[in-house]
């Protein structure tokens, strides 16, 4: 319960005032009077002021509590929710004033009584009546029912709308019909505000900004897994954001100290929701790995599809992301993590290897991503330049030359690659001495050099410049590169160096779209050009003699 | 110099490739014409008989930087000649 400076009390008043305003509006439509009209319009100012008071307290609270430790997370979420609810409650009150003002345009007030506005008011009033208890008791079902009021109001509005449109076609009572339509429209917009309030309630309870349709997808996915607990027993925690457009959260069905439930993994599971295509790719990737290399990726517990959205409930893999290990673990743990990483990767490459040449297509991938890069960094494609006869090739020339080289340079064999082998797409479990892959929606049979280059560049571009940590990163890159070279040697892959140069050029260049630091991103782009230039000028000589200028990664 | 202009080149090189640029520049100075081109834009610099030549270097926290500066004033007669040529051409 929030007790500071009477914020909870102010909020209670706000809800009560808006309820009163809605009731008065409904009464006014039934039986209008000047006194009631004035009261409704007058109360609007009071509600407006109350909203300002509450907002000031909310912002004041955040301002005051900034500092070490800050505001308790759960309390901060409640304050945020109060602020959002308050803004939307005030909007509801405004719409009430709009509704009563519309009645001035009716030539005959009784005309309105032929239309079913009453049921819309019943829905709105029922919803507001639940609001405080839902908030105070953190009742997720109550929050969902507040959200659902919007669906009901939309449906009622549609019925009214269709009827009025039909009647307008007769050409009679046009002014009255349009006025009634406007009143219905304002009531429908109250539904939109109630949906925002419901979503704020969910946020205050779960601490996760989640849209109602996402929540329903989660609910259905959980039901499909055979999870029998009520939604209120689900602890929904956001564990990381993602730039790839999916929302990810961790679902833990246990209460603290409670024993594990059968069916769903006792350590919880991960819920992912996003564009159907992406979720389907992720599911296919997870299933592919489960069939090929059991235990490497999370188990799929459930899948749900709804229009162009999809959701997945997958096993939560305990452990640390490899980037955390790299930056924070002790020396011995890090050494061990690298050992497990290289052992696992080597085993995967050996067991999934198919002895058939495969075109890598690094330059095609780079060209496809170039527009996205140029959108962020317009100056990253430069023309050919010449200094006293010494030509420095431009970006288009290098891309074309390297694409030709690449056509002559297929990988001698393919392996099942991760496809987005970023250092933060792996989980290392020190207890079980296991490594797991995350985000496998791009996994396929390909040149292993792609995974190596993505891994190296994801290390390279970590925004860490402290000397000791940088040395660790450099050590990790050097070790992994030397591991890849040793594998190539064993596998008689004689063109790894040239392909690696192209793959690194591609990763360095395309990763600049995530880098906003001008000097750093320009440096990455220049290094990509440097690598392409070295490859392009080697043409005509045997590719076995090309040596990757690996210093691009180390200084 | 035939007309005003600006040329910029910023890149990553290694000890071998940097030498090819430096050698090309040396050769340009030897011929008395430093030609710099970017797409269709070309600047031709003609170093004077006397030039200012400065070298600055610094090393700090593991980073080194060296700046070479060569500057001169273009001869007036040469500028006038350039202007006359432009008039004829237009």
Q: Is the pLDDT of residue A244 over 70?
A: no
**Shortest alpha-carbon distance between residue A526 and chain B (Å):** 6
A470 inside 8 A of chain B by CB: no
**Each residue's pLDDT tens digit, A14-43:** 999 999 999 999 999 999 999 999 999 999
The answer to whether position B49 is within a domain reads yes
Q: Three-state DSSP class for A551? A: helix
Identify the band that residue A222 occupies on the pLDDT scale cut at 50, 70 and 90.
low
Please, which pLDDT band fits residue A370 given cuts at 50, 70 and 90? very high
> How remote is the C-alpha of B52 from its chain's centroid?
13
* A526 interface with B at CB cutoff 8 Å: yes
b/e A358-378 (16+ beta carbons within 10 angstroms → b): bebbbbebbbebbeebeeebe
Contacts of B20 in chain A (CB under 8 A): 390
Q: Is the minimum CB–CB distance between A549 and chain B shorter than 8 Å?
A: yes
How many whole angstroms separate alpha carbon A131 and alpha carbon A198?
Answer: 9
Please give the structure tokens belonging to residue A324: 């955390």
> B5 in a domain, yes or no?
no
- Asked if residue B2 belongs to a domain, the reply is no
The token pair that represents A494 in the structure block: 């004689």
Count the domains in chain B.
1
Can you give the C-alpha Rg of chain A in angstroms? Answer: 31
Test the A interface: residue of B8, B12, B27 with most A CBs within 10 Å: B12
- The residue of chain A with its CA nearest to that of B33 is A388
Flag whether B30 is in a domain.
yes
Residue B29 lies in a domain: yes
Asked whether the beta carbons of residue B24 and residue A523 sit closer than 8 angstroms, the reply is no
Q: Identify whether B6 is part of a domain.
A: no
pLDDT in tens, B71-90: 999 876 555 444 444 444 44
Inter-chain residue contact A530 with B12, CB threshold 8 Å: yes
Contact A392, B11 (CB under 8 A): yes
Q: What are the pLDDT tens digits along chain B (90 aa)?
A: 446 788 999 999 999 999 999 999 999 999 999 999 998 789 999 998 899 999 999 999 888 999 999 999 987 655 544 444 444 444
pLDDT of the residue at A491 = 96
Task: Please give the Cα distance from A102 to A188 (Å, whole number).
Answer: 15
- Alpha-carbon distance of A7 to A17, in angstroms, equals 15
Q: Closest residue of A to B32, CA-based?
A: A388
pLDDT of A228 = 54
Report the chain B residue with the minimal C-alpha distance to residue A552.
B12
Judging by beta carbons within 10 Å of its beta carbon (0-12, 13-18, 19+), is residue A421 exposed, middle or buried? buried
d(CA A195, CA A193): 5
Domains for chain A: give ranges and CATH numbers. 4-207 (1.20.58.220), 213-315 (3.30.200.20), 320-553 (3.90.1200.10)
Residue B43, strand partner residues: B36
Domain span at residue B32 reads 15-89
Count of C-beta atoms within a 10 Å radius of residue A517: 12
Question: Inter-chain contact B35–A526, Cβ cutoff 8 Å?
Answer: no
Q: Does residue B1 sit within a domain?
A: no
Determine, yes or no, domain membership for B46. Answer: yes
pLDDT tens, position by position, A277-286: 988 999 999 9
What is the percentage of chain A residues whose pLDDT exceeds 70? 86
What is the predicted pLDDT for the residue at A252?
55
How large is the average pLDDT for residues A296-313?
A: 84
Asked whether the beta carbons of residue B36 and residue A389 sit closer than 8 angstroms, the reply is no
pLDDT tier at A501 (50, 70, 90 boundaries)? very high
pTM of the model: 0.67
């Amino acid at each position: 319960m929030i007790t500071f400076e009477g914020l909870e009390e102010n909020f209670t008043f706000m809800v009560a005032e808006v309820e009163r305003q809605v009731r008065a509006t409904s009464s006014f439509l039934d039986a209008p009077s000047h006194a009631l009209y004035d009261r409704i319009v007058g109360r609007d100012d009071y509600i407006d002021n109350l909203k300002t008071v509450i907002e000031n307290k909310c912002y004041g609270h955040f301002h005051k509590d900034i500092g070490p430790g800050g505001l308790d997370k759960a309390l901060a979420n409640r304050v945020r929710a109060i602020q959002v609810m308050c803004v939307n409650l005030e909007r509801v009150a405004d719409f009430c004033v709009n509704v009563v003002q519309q009645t001035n345009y009716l030539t005959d007030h009784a005309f309105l009584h032929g239309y079913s506005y009453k049921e819309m008011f019943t829905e709105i009033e029922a919803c507001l009546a639940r609001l405080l208890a839902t908030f105070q008791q953190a009742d997720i079902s109550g929050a969902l029912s507040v959200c659902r009021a919007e669906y009901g109001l939309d449906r009622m509005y549609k019925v009214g709308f269709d009827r009025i449109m039909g009647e307008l076609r007769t050409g009679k009572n046009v002014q009255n019909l349009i006025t009634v339509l406007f009143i219905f429209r304002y009531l429908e917009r109250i539904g939109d505000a109630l949906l925002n309030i419901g979503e704020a309630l969910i946020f205050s309870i779960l601490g996760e900004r989640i849209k109602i349709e996402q929540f329903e997808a989660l609910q259905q996915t959980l039901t499909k897994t055979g999870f029998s607990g009520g939604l209120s027993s689900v602890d929904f925690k956001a564990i990381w954001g993602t730039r790839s457009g999916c929302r990810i959260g961790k679902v833990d069905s246990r209460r603290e100290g409670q024993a594990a439930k059968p069916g769903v993994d006792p350590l919880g599971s991960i819920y992912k929701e996003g564009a159907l295509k992406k979720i389907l790719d992720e599911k296919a990737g997870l299933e592919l790995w489960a069939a090929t290399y059991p235990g490497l990726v999370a188990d799929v517990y459930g899948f749900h599809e709804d229009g162009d959205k999809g959701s997945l409930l997958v096993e939560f893999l305990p452990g640390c992301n490899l980037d955390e290990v790299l930056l924070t673990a002790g020396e011995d743990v890090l050494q061990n993590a690298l050992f497990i990483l290289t052992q696992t990767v080597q085993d995967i490459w050996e067991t999934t290897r198919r002895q058939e040449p495969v075109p890598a297509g690094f330059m095609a991938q780079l060209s496809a991503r170039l527009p996205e890069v140029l959108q962020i960094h317009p100056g990253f494609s430069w023309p050919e330049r010449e200094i006293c006869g010494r030509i420095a090739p431009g970006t288009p020339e290098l891309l074309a030359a390297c694409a030709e080289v690449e056509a002559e340079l297929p990988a001698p064999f393919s392996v099942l690659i991760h496809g987005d082998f970023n250092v933060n797409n792996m989980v290392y479990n020190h207890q079980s001495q296991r490594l797991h892959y995350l985000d496998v929606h791009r996994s396929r049979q390909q040149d292993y050099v792609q995974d190596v280059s993505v891994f190296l560049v994801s290390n390279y571009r970590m925004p860490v410049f402290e000397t000791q940590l940088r040395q660790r990163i450099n050590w990790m890159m050097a070790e992994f590169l030397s591991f890849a070279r040793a594998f190539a040697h064993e596998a008689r892959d004689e063109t790894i160096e040239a392909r690696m140069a192209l793959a690194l050029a591609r990763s360095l260049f395309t990763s600049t779209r995530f880098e906003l630091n001008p000097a750093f991103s320009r440096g990455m782009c220049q290094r990509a050009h440097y690598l392409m230039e070295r490859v392009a000028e080697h043409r005509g000589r045997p590719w076995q003699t090309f040596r990757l200028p690996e210093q691009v990664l180390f200084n | 110099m035939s007309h005003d202009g600006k040329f910029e080149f910023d890149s990553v090189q290694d000890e071998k490739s940097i030498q090819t640029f430096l050698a090309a520049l040396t050769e340009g100075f030897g011929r008395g014409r430093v030609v710099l081109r970017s797409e269709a834009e070309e600047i031709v610099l003609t170093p004077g008989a006397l030039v200012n030549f400065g070298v600055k270097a610094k090393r700090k926290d593991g980073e080194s930087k060296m700046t070479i500066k060569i500057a001169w004033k273009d001869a007036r007669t040469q500028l006038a000649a350039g202007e006359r040529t432009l008039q004829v051409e237009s």
